[in-house]
Amino acid sequence: MHIVVCVKQVPSSIAVKTDPATQTLTCTGSEFLINPFDENALETALVLKDTAAAKVTVLTIGGAQAADVLREALGRGADAAQLISDPAFEGSDAWATGKILATAIQKLGGVDLVLCGKQTFDGDTAQVGPSIAEFLGWSCVAFVRKLTLEGTTLKLERMFEEGYEKIALPLPAVLTVGKEINTPRMASLKGRMAAKRAQLAPVTAAALGLAPESVGAQGARTRLAKMAPVPRKSGGIKVDGSDAAVAAKTVVDKLRELKLV
Amino acid sequence: MIDKSQCSGVWVFAEQRNAAIQDVTFELLAKGRELADKRGAKLAAVLFGQGLKAQCAELFAHGADMVYYADAPALATFNSDAYTAQLAALVQQYKPEVLLGGSTIAGRSFFPRVAVRVDTGLASDCTSLDMDAAGLLQAVRPAYAGNVLATLVCPDHRPQMATVRGKAFKKGTPVVGRAGELIEVPAATGEVKTQILETVRDTGNMVNLADADIIVSGGRGIGGPDQFGFIQDLAAELKGAVGASRAAVDAGWISSLHQVGQTGKTVKPKLYIACGISGAIQHLAGMGASDFIIAINKDAAAPIFDIADIGIVGDLFAVVPALTQALKNR
């Protein structure tokens, strides 16, 4: 079985600053790592590999530094990795991202299962996994919390607001997973050393047979019209809590005044 | 590329679970009515299920001019394959200008597939919508851990699709008996590979943070699992739900079902009480839109105070029980 895991490199924490002169935003992150839910997707693949004969290929789209998350995935036990990288991919929305990844998966050939994190930490769209499925013409179940493989049939539990559903689905398929599904493993020292030596030549738009204008900002179906910092509320009141009973009475009086209680 | 002049109407996907239309649908119909009126267009609801004709009346009462209703056993409960095929087929046949749905598990599972199948753009998890004079939907969504509001548009493709968070809009007052046109549509033919074996409703163990009007949350300052009792007591007194920060969940003091924040739930209650939560940006992303925020923290410099309407600087183990007591005495 051949499993593809799609991962994204995201900042570990995000600070946004507005330049008062130009009103442009800069988003800076302290360090970059694998999107947390993508770690669960990778772990799901590695668990399947532990129990069945499976090859695990990890894909990411990004610049040269995105190779770091591929090396981390290789260190944890993935068999192969592809850095999908081209200036033409810049400005891709979820539609274009899905198209690029689906094209790379078709190009690999013989893939049975695609696993993605349920959403990313920075973009938060939760669209890419289902979009990949649609470009491939495969079925997709999102928000999976449990998975077993019986022959070529996946047995899943999918979360929803009021509980969960048990679902059966034949391969090939695309699934998205959340952190409920497992606890990601650490890379082994041996794995880390081997991953360091891995050759990760960029896979370009041309190599995938994608016309530059069909992806990236040009190909995207949505356009960013405006970005603005979130207005934070101000004018809150501070209450001294050193006398808890007095503080509590102040707060409860205020809540009653506002009819919140 | 699609001829945009051929597309008209605002559509709302009416989400039903266990035959009950979800509140987010009524909220979207209220907003959809406004958008449709701006365009001088019709507002339609799209309902999939089995034996739900009575529910169509509710959709008319909430402002739909027409309801496209597909009745089939395969559509009784949400199935991503079946719902994608059905909605995409209707979009291709009737060509709406705008298509909205709730940012629910179902909406977020199948709207991206419909968007790709009908070849258009989707803005997901929006918190506000507007329509400009040219008929371009302005879809506003938080990004970058809730730090930024991004406005997305879909200039060249139709329909303009968006999923919208619950409580982003207020539902209108239903007009009982309001008439509308019921259009019964045939079930789409298409391969459904996904087989739902069993639906387990587990609401006893669920923490319904998304619908709670009041949430009391504990963070690192709680210090251990037993001390969550203080939080539970206050939440019980307020008939609210118990939330938690990632720090408290990661420490193993409380189940991840309670987690509020970027990797947990996004909430928008009328009242949010943060106890011993410093206010990491990821937590603020999940609760910053709450109507009224009270923060209790011993560190006067904690970032949570920047967004709190009332900030109590003090020992939560004294203040929280005192609050519970003061509420009992009210």
Confidence of residue A164 (pLDDT cuts 50, 70, 90): very high
Q: Which residue has the tokens 């509710």?
A: B58
Instruction: Order the strands of the B160-164 sheet from edge to edge.
Output: B122-126, B160-164, B98-102, B10-14, B43-49, B66-71, B181-185
Residue A238 contacts B where some CB pair is shorter than 8 Å? yes
Summarize the confidence of residues A150-173 as an average pLDDT: 94
Q: Enumerate the residues of chain A whose CB falls inside 8 A of the CB of residue B156.
A: 221
| Length of chain A measured in residues | 261
Confidence of residue A69 (pLDDT cuts 50, 70, 90): very high
Q: How many CB pairs under 8 A join A and B?
A: 262
Residue A54 half-sphere exposure, CB side, CA atoms within 13 Å? 26
Residue A253 covered by a domain: no
Query: Which residue in the set B193, B198, B263 is minimally distant from A139, CB to CB?
Result: B193
Per-residue pLDDT at B206: 66
Domain span including residue A56: 2-219
Cβ(A236)–Cβ(B307) under 8 Å? yes
Query: Which residue in the set A123, A126, A222 is minimally distant from B143, CB to CB?
Result: A123
Residue A242 covered by a domain: no
Whose CA is closest to B39, among B109, B110, B130, B123?
B130
Contacts of B329 (CB under 8 A, 6+ apart): none
With a cut of 70, say whether residue A17 has pLDDT above it: no
Query: Which residue in the set B147, B310, B326 is minimally distant from A239, CB to CB?
Result: B310
Q: How far is CA B289 from CA A198, A233, B139, B154, B266, in A?
A: 45, 9, 17, 26, 9
Please judge whether B313 and A94 are an interchain contact, meaning their C-beta atoms are less than 8 angstroms apart.
no
Please judge whether B282 and A254 are an interchain contact, meaning their C-beta atoms are less than 8 angstroms apart.
no
Residue B275 half-sphere exposure, CB side, CA atoms within 13 Å? 28
Rounded CA-CA distance B315/B300 in Å is 11
With a cut of 80, say whether residue A32 has pLDDT above it: yes
Share of chain B above pLDDT 70, in %: 98
Rounded CA-CA distance B167/B179 in Å is 26
Please judge whether A163 and B318 are an interchain contact, meaning their C-beta atoms are less than 8 angstroms apart.
no
Residue A19 contacts B where some CB pair is shorter than 8 Å? no
With a cut of 70, say whether residue A26 has pLDDT above it: no
Per-residue pLDDT at A162: 86
Per-residue pLDDT at B82: 96
Residue A220 contacts B where some CB pair is shorter than 8 Å? yes
Which of the two residues, B288 and A49, has the higher pLDDT score?
A49
Whose CA is closest to B140, among B125, B120, B126?
B126
Residue A43 covered by a domain: yes
Residue A67 covered by a domain: yes
Please judge whether A134 and B116 are an interchain contact, meaning their C-beta atoms are less than 8 angstroms apart.
yes
Comparing alpha-carbon positions, the chain B residue that sits nearest to A132 is B113
Comparing alpha-carbon positions, the chain B residue that sits nearest to A233 is B307
Summarize the confidence of residues A46-55 as an average pLDDT: 94
Low-confidence ranges of chain B (pLDDT < 50): none
Local structure of B209: helix, strand or coil: coil
Q: Which two tokens stand for residue B102?
A: 């709730």
Residue A232 covered by a domain: no
Rounded CA-CA distance B218/B259 in Å is 10
**Domains located in chain B, CATH noted:** 4-185 (3.40.50.620), 214-328 (3.40.50.1220)
Per-residue pLDDT at B187: 94
Rounded CA-CA distance B282/B262 in Å is 5
Local structure of B153: helix, strand or coil: strand
Q: Which two tokens stand for residue B305?
A: 């105070």
Cβ(B313)–Cβ(A238) under 8 Å? yes
Please judge whether A27 and B292 are an interchain contact, meaning their C-beta atoms are less than 8 angstroms apart.
no
Are β-strands A80-84 and A163-170 bridged in parallel, bridged antiparallel, or unpaired?
A: unpaired
Which of the two residues, A180 and A138, has the higher pLDDT score?
A138
Which of the two residues, B108 and A17, has the higher pLDDT score?
B108
Please judge whether A160 and B105 are an interchain contact, meaning their C-beta atoms are less than 8 angstroms apart.
yes
Rounded CA-CA distance B34/B98 in Å is 12
Local structure of A209: helix, strand or coil: coil
A-interface mutation test, from B25, B98, B105, most A Cβ less than 10 A away: B105
Which of the two residues, A74 and A254, has the higher pLDDT score?
A74
Predicted-complex ipTM score: 0.92
A-interface mutation test, from B109, B131, B259, most A Cβ less than 10 A away: B109
A-interface mutation test, from B16, B22, B24, B80, most A Cβ less than 10 A away: B80
Per-residue pLDDT at A28: 63
User: A 112-171 residues with CB below 8 A of B?
Assistant: 121-131, 133-135, 139-143, 158-170
Please judge whether B155 and A169 are an interchain contact, meaning their C-beta atoms are less than 8 angstroms apart.
no
**Distance in Å, alpha carbon of A157 to nearest chain B alpha carbon:** 9
With a cut of 90, say whether residue A31 has pLDDT above it: no
Please judge whether A240 and B313 are an interchain contact, meaning their C-beta atoms are less than 8 angstroms apart.
yes
Residue A173 covered by a domain: yes
Record the pTM.
0.90
Rounded CA-CA distance B84/B233 in Å is 44
Summarize the confidence of residues A112-125 as an average pLDDT: 92
Q: Which two tokens stand for residue B93?
A: 């046949």
The domain that holds A134 is classified in CATH as 3.40.50.620
Query: Which residue in the set A126, A163, A247 is minimally distant from B312, CB to CB?
Result: A247
Q: Which two tokens stand for residue B214?
A: 């009041």
Comparing alpha-carbon positions, the chain A residue that sits nearest to B210 is A161
Q: Enumerate the residues of chain B whose CB falls inside 8 A of the CB of residue A125.
A: 112, 124-125
Comparing alpha-carbon positions, the chain A residue that sits nearest to B287 is A232
Per-residue pLDDT at B145: 72
Residue A259 covered by a domain: no
Cβ(B206)–Cβ(B257) under 8 Å? yes
Are β-strands A2-6 and A113-117 bridged in parallel, bridged antiparallel, or unpaired?
A: parallel
Summarize the confidence of residues A203-214 as an average pLDDT: 98
Burial of A229 (0-12, 13-18, 19+ CB in 10 A): middle
Q: How far apart are the first and last CA of chain B?
A: 63
Residue A53 contacts B where some CB pair is shorter than 8 Å? no
Rounded CA-CA distance B70/B194 in Å is 19
With a cut of 60, say whether residue A246 has pLDDT above it: yes
Q: Cα angle at B123 between B209 and B83, to 5 degrees? A: 75
Q: Enumerate the residues of chain A whose CB falls inside 8 A of the CB of residue B270.
A: 260
Residue A229 covered by a domain: no
With a cut of 60, say whether residue A23 has pLDDT above it: no
Residue-averaged pLDDT of chain A: 92
Whose CA is closest to A208, among A83, A95, A119, A121?
A83
How many domains does chain A contain in total? 1
Rounded CA-CA distance A109/B149 in Å is 39
Residue A98 contacts B where some CB pair is shorter than 8 Å? yes
Per-residue pLDDT at A19: 64
User: A 175-204 residues with CB below 8 A of B?
Assistant: 179-180
With a cut of 80, say whether residue A29 has pLDDT above it: no
